[in-house]
């Protein structure tokens, strides 16, 4: 999501004349057949529901999430930085694509393998990995990164994690044209093919986990994922489908879509990256988050983030809380509503990963 709609909706001159009123009524009349049932209250039944929902989401994503794929990665450049080294690398993406990325490794390296964190960017003029890896092309972008706490791949590397920041489809080196037109064309062609950007990015991000896990300096049993905005959405879907993710932080991408439709106005600021064909007859975003249970999931949203309503976020989190209670892990999910806008909150995310990726020793050195 890359901008915020403002202004009131115009009033319709006759009941139901306005298109949004018709669509809102259709959404109300369309139940989600696989939303989390309140009757689920034990881990085994929850797992059955999760398996059913994952299968039902494949037509929505337009892809079949894969088990681990062989990934060929090649480092082309290494730059020493303050407390870490930054490698530039490329690796095999979905459907034969190539993913460009930065890998940030603590320097000096730890004596034992470190936890690995996949750090996922959002929009920000389609700049991609440069945002999370703190490699701004100019002072304007540097100020943007600072104002959004966007360089979290750096922050985590300096605290002892090995971090991987890949360019998503349509971002960074994968988008030679940074205009909105490039992004919109990419989204349309994806849909003409019956695919989805969310699904394709899920396949690529799963390969990112494989790259992290294959590094000798990474402990493959301690993998996490974190992202802001579109990166938060990528985090949400990767954690939901790839059980190698042991802990996740979704920042600036969580709400009840069904409720947002009823509010409507905020939807004007959501772009083609948010398309999920036929999602609502199946479930809602909070149900996708419920697929992560019982693995630890922190959701962050700013109270002044114009893309979502707090009431919608809190209502959606009720579903997540229900899933974690059923899983017997009520303390493994949390909603961090902070006083801020569409930005990343570093400290809460750091504490989350310190708690769940066993890096207590690391946290005392950073
Ligand atoms: Zn987009």
Residue 300, CA distances (Å) to 133, 183, 219 in order: 20, 26, 26
- For ligand 1, the distance from its centroid to the CA atom of residue 44, given in whole angstroms, is 37
Judge whether residue 97 has pLDDT over 70.
yes
Judge whether residue 359 has pLDDT over 90.
no
- For ligand 1, the distance from its centroid to the CA atom of residue 273, given in whole angstroms, is 4
Q: Where are the beta strands (DSSP E) in the chain?
A: 73-81, 84-92, 98-106, 114-120, 162-166, 218-228, 245-251, 297-302, 333-338
Class of domain 19-363: alpha beta
- For ligand 1, the distance from its centroid to the CA atom of residue 184, given in whole angstroms, is 7
pTM score? 0.94
- For ligand 1, the distance from its centroid to the CA atom of residue 138, given in whole angstroms, is 22
Judge whether residue 366 has pLDDT over 90.
no
pLDDT of res. 271: 86
Judge whether residue 338 has pLDDT over 70.
yes
- For ligand 1, the distance from its centroid to the CA atom of residue 357, given in whole angstroms, is 31
102-122 pLDDT, tens per residue?
Answer: 999 999 999 999 999 999 999
Judge whether residue 3 has pLDDT over 50.
no
- For ligand 1, the distance from its centroid to the CA atom of residue 204, given in whole angstroms, is 16
Residues in the chain: 366
Report domain extents, the chain. 19-363
Who's near 13: CB < 8 A, 6+ residues apart?
A: none
- The torsion angles phi and psi of 14, rounded to 5 degrees, stand at -145, 150
Using the structure block, give the residue that is written with the tokens 């309140």.
Answer: 38
- For ligand 1, the distance from its centroid to the CA atom of residue 181, given in whole angstroms, is 10
- For ligand 1, the distance from its centroid to the CA atom of residue 114, given in whole angstroms, is 32
Give me 200's structure tokens: 């394709």
pLDDT of res. 8: 55
246-279 pLDDT, tens per residue?
Answer: 999 999 999 999 999 998 888 888 888 988 999 9
Distance between CA atoms of residues 36 and 299, nearest Å: 18
pLDDT of res. 179: 84
Task: Kindly report which listed range (12-26, 171-185, 300-314) carries the lowest average pLDDT score.
Answer: 12-26
- For ligand 1, the distance from its centroid to the CA atom of residue 124, given in whole angstroms, is 10
Who's near 22: CB < 8 A, 6+ residues apart?
A: 16
- For ligand 1, the distance from its centroid to the CA atom of residue 108, given in whole angstroms, is 37
> Average pLDDT in the 153-170 region?
97
> Average pLDDT in the 92-111 region?
96
- For ligand 1, the distance from its centroid to the CA atom of residue 198, given in whole angstroms, is 10
């Amino acid at each position: 999501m890359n901008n915020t709609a403002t202004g009131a909706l115009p009033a319709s001159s006759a009941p139901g004349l306005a298109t949004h009123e018709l669509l809102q009524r259709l959404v109300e009349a369309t139940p989600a057949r696989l939303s989390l049932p309140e009757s689920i209250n034990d881990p085994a039944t929850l797992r059955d529901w999760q398996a059913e929902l994952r299968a039902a989401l494949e037509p929505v994503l337009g892809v079949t999430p894969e088990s681990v794929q062989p990934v060929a990665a090649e480092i082309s450049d290494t730059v020493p930085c303050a407390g870490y080294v930054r490698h530039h690398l490329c690796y095999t993406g979905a459907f034969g694509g190539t993913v460009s990325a930065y890998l940030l490794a603590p320097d000096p390296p730890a004596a034992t393998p470190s936890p690995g964190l996949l750090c996922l960017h959002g929009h920000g003029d389609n700049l991609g990995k440069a945002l999370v890896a703190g490699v701004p092309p100019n002072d304007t972008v540097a100020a943007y990164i600072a104002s959004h706490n966007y360089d979290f791949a750096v922050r985590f590397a300096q605290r002892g994690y090995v971090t991987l920041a890949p360019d998503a489809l349509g971002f960074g080196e994968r988008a030679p044209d940074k205009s909105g037109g490039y992004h919109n064309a990419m989204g349309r062609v994806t849909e003409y093919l019956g695919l989805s950007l969310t699904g394709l990015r899920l396949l690529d991000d799963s390969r990112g986990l494989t790259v992290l896990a294959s590094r000798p300096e990474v402990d493959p049993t301690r993998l996490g994922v974190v992202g802001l905005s579109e990166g938060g959405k990528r985090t949400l879907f990767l954690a939901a489908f790839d059980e190698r993710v042991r802990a996740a932080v979704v920042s600036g991408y969580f709400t009840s879509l069904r409720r947002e439709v009823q509010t409507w106005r905020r939807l004007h600021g959501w772009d083609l990256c948010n398309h999920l064909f036929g999602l609502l007859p199946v479930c809602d975003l909070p149900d996708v988050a419920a697929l992560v249970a019982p693995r630890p999931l922190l959701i962050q949203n700013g109270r002044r983030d114009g893309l979502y309503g707090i009431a919608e976020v809190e209502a959606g989190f009720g579903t997540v809380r229900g899933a974690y209670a059923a899983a017997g892990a009520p303390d493994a999910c949390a909603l961090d509503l902070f006083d801020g806008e569409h930005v990343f909150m570093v400290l809460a995310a750091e504490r989350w990963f310190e708690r769940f990726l066993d890096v207590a020793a690391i946290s005392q050195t950073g």
